[in-house]
Structure 1
Amino acid sequence: MTPNLKGSLLMMGSMAAFTLNDVVVKLLADELPLFQIVFLRGLLTTLLLTLTVAAFGKLSFHVPRPDRGKVALRTLFEIVAMVTFLTALINMQIANATAILSALPLAVTLGAALMFKEQVGWRRLSAICVGAFGVLLIVQPGAEGFNSYSLLALVTVVLVAGRDLVTRSFSPELPSMTVAVITAAAICVFGGVMMVTEEWVPLQADHAALLALAAFFIIGGYVFSILVMRVGEVAVTAPFRYSSLVFALVMGWLVFAELPNALALTGAVIVVVMGVFTLIRERQVKHG
């Protein structure tokens, strides 16, 4: 198995794990308050992730001084993005929410041009504009079935793009798994604080099982997404990030009997094609 094939499979594994986590959270939200889910899932995730990192001998909480403010800012982006996305996910079709998030590579490319003065030629700029049109087809403002929670999914794209841009500025001395553990712990604490605004719902056996599944899946997503950065070429493996849309379409249909309309599906295809084009063009520019 070549490194690029391994990387592609790991990327698809990561997307499948994150999508399955979304499915479980959406199921739990029918019976449990949002922040109770966030806290309990975060507690399990932090525990399992810490044990996993410790088992590999990589557990460290040392953050270089220049990175401390950046880690705090990244964590803030992560927490707010988690709230906006889960709120959108609970109130709209899982495939539509995932399709909107597919605009991330386009948003990060634009953000890098604005923040880091990276050169973006007319081809990639055109792809960003066409991709934005694809997002509008998914959101469908003004349509009869328009769901205002789609706007929260769009806000999530901006927040996650900000998170990724901050991550790009980290120094090489900061271990990725340290950031992952800190993020998981911060989300757990945030969920615990916000949980006081909700009425506690006693856990049933099926709730506990689903929470354990959600924690398991999100750990898988974290681990696979880190491993994929160490295997294969990014330009080859990155387009497989769009497999999340396929997983979301299948799971939405099987679990929730949801299927986006023709306009939303067309928009999703446009976003994916433009995103893949942007990644390919970025590789060409770097090697040109």
Structure 2
Amino acid sequence: MSVPDQNRTMLGVLFMVAFCIIAPVMDAFAKATPEHVPVAQILAARFGIQVMILVPLALALQLAARPIGRDISLHLARGAALLAATACFFTAVRYMPIANAIAIFFVSPFVTTLLGAVFLKETVGWRRVSACLVGFGGALLVIRPSFTGLGAVALLPLSTAFFFAVYMLLTRSMSQRLHPLTLQAHTALAACLIVFPPLIAMDGSGSRYFDPVWPTGLAIWTLLGVGLIATVSHLCITYALRFAPASTVAPLQYLEIVGATAVGYIAFNDFPKPLTWLGVAIIVASGLFLFARERDLGRKTDRPPPPP
């Protein structure tokens, strides 16, 4: 018996809310990882554990598929983009509050819109361009105080937004052909193929970014936490999009700022300043307008032509 559409949508909304609560916990584990553990090793734990969980799950559900032809290069490109985005973000949260980093990262929908117009020749009207520019202005309000104290590190969440937008554009071309679970497993595999060789090659080199260390004490638990929470949170967002339309659940992702603020305050006693909240409000308002505009345009596109 099929699940009623209304119940499916509600289930999708619940999965999205769960993602917004769980995802900042992953960032907290990354932030809490001792600084002598290189970021590349945190990435290896994040994607390696995801492979160990998702690949057997895909095999058990008979969703595993061997990539062929052009898909191999697309998976590697998606893995590289997500790896770069995660590396920038994990580096940023080591030095700045999680809520600030996530607020800046939420310019990603604006970057995706503009890149879609440039590379995919998607039609973007002046209203959406204006919303993007206003959203970037809000991000500057969040970046400015952090930039004064941290310098270029405050710009890393912007790099995260750019790489994540590239990842989303690549996902658009593959999501209709592959099951979401298969797609996530392939992405994690591709990321592992990229991040593990430098760690192996530079073992003992003394590199701050690539020389792995044997985790002990707190590092064991934080690395396990990063991998497990990353897997659970991405499964939540995968099934949120499976049960509910993207136009319904995408705006809910801004709840992640609330989750990040709560986690940052409880774990690290970080709380955004008033100017940061003003920037967050501008980013969220611009993003919600962008989502609403795209939904309205989608409805107009889906309407049947008028009778002659």
Single out whichever of 140-149 and 178-187 deviates more from structure 2. Answer: 140-149
| 1:252 paired residue number | 264
User: Cα 1:9–1:171, aligned 2, differ >3 Å: closer, same or farther?
Assistant: closer
Q: 1:49 aligns with which of 49, 54, 73?
A: 54
1:67–1:171 contact (8 Å) kept in structure 2: no
Q: 1:33 aligns with which of 29, 34, 38?
A: 38
Give 1:83-122 correspondences, 5 Å limit. Answer: 83-122=87-126
Deviation at 1:262, TM superposition (A): 1.4
Q: 1:216 aligns with which of 199, 211, 228?
A: 228
Amino acid at match of 1:121: G
2:42–2:226 contact (8 Å) kept in structure 1: no
Gaps of at least 5 residues in structure 2 are 1-5, 301-308
Give 1:100-179 correspondences, 5 Å limit. Answer: 100-140=104-144, 144-145=148-149, 147-170=151-174, 172-179=176-183
User: Cα 1:171–1:156, aligned 2, differ >3 Å: closer, same or farther?
Assistant: closer
Which one has a bigger Cα radius of gyration?
2
Identity of aligned residues (%): 28
2:19 paired with 1:14: yes
Amino acid at match of 1:43: G
Q: How many residues align?
A: 287
Q: 1:205, 1:134 → 2: CA distance?
A: 40
Amino acid at match of 1:3: R
2:184 paired with 1:180: yes
Listed one character per residue, the Cα deviations across residues 54-97 of structure 1 (whole Å, up to 9, x for unaligned) are: 2322122x224243332222222122222212111212111111
| 2:292 paired residue number | 280
Single out whichever of 207-216 and 79-88 deviates more from structure 2. Answer: 207-216
2:281 paired with 1:269: yes
Deviation at 1:140, TM superposition (A): 0.8
Q: 2:250, 2:295 → 1: CA distance?
A: 11
1:78–1:160 contact (8 Å) kept in structure 2: yes
Q: 2:211, 2:138 → 1: CA distance?
A: 40
User: Cα 1:142–1:245, aligned 2, differ >3 Å: closer, same or farther?
Assistant: closer
- Which aligned runs of 4 or more in structure 1 are off by greater than 6 angstroms? none
Amino acid at match of 2:44: F
Deviation at 1:141, TM superposition (A): 6.8
Give 1:52-71 correspondences, 5 Å limit. Answer: 52-60=57-65, 62-71=66-75
Aligned-residue RMSD, C-alpha: 2.1
User: Cα 1:143–1:154, aligned 2, differ >3 Å: closer, same or farther?
Assistant: closer
